Amino acid sequence: MAASPKDIRVGWIGTGVMGASMCRHLQDVGHPITFYTRTREKAEVLEASGAVWAETPAAVAAASDITFAIVGFPEDVRDVFGGAEGES
């Protein structure tokens, strides 16, 4: 039996121009979304449509079955995955 999108909790880190659109597509097909972005106001549309904002990237990973990160620069990647509030 195949899993339904509503059964797969998706985490999303980075909701800039490209990330917000990609995250919204997953939300539109029914995945529950937990997300983190440095500027929460930029993701108000996601939050208003049911996505849950998390305080840290680590909190996103803890609440998700799968986590995507789309951030812009190498130092951002290091912060997300290895920083004090990152996933590691």
* CATH (one of 3.40.50.720, 1.10.3720.10, 1.10.540.10, 3.30.360.10) for 5-82: 3.40.50.720
- At residue 1, the pLDDT reads 72
**Domain regions of the chain by residue span:** 5-82
11-36: average pLDDT: 94
Percent of the chain predicted with pLDDT > 90: 64
- At residue 35, the pLDDT reads 96
**Model confidence, pTM:** 0.86
| DSSP H or E stretch at residue 77 | helix 74-82
User: Between vectors from CA 51 to CA 30 and to CA 1, what angle results, nearest 5°?
Assistant: 25
- Residue 5's CB is within 10 A of a number of other CB atoms, namely 13
| Residue pLDDT, tens place only, 34-55 | 999 988 888 899 999 999 999 9
pLDDT band per the 50, 70, 90 thresholds, residue 75: confident
